[in-house]
Amino acid sequence: MEDITPPPDLLYGSYEEAYDALKTHGMHHGYGFVLKRSWPHNSIAKTRYYYHCDRFRNNFQSTAKVLSTSTRSTECPFKLVVFKIKDSGQWKLEVQDKRHNHPRSIKGFNPQHSLY
């Protein structure tokens, strides 16, 4: 399986710049991502955003009866954080786990990319 290149750990002037760089990188390298959580939880002004590969799976087990469906989940360990640096006010994109356990998505077939 080929390696999927992680985004570079860089500084950005705003959260939107960092998010756009992440989105563009994911589209060009064959993966999507989802927001796992943000911090502080009850604040409008967020200072941290935690993202996972869109192939990550939550281990939530529902007691409701659900029809059997297919899933793209592979429990991919890839994750990163985008956070605001207090002193400079800049935003840093930092990869916490660069490993993917699946091949690249075929361009145009990743549902995440249809949202951009």
Residue in 94, 90, 62 with CA at minimum distance from that of residue 78: 94
pLDDT in tens, the chain (116 residues): 668 999 999 999 999 999 999 999 999 898 989 999 999 988 889 999 999 998 887 655 556 666 656 666 788 999 999 999 999 999 999 999 999 999 888 665 555 545 54
pLDDT at residue number 70:
61
Q: Cβ distance 35 to 48 under 8 Å?
A: no
Whole-model pTM: value is: 0.78
Q: Which tens digit of pLDDT belongs to each residue from 19-38?
A: 999 999 999 898 989 999 99
Q: Domain residues of the chain, as ranges?
A: 11-57+72-115
Paired sense of beta strands 91-97 and 79-84, if any: antiparallel
Tokens of 104: 């690249």
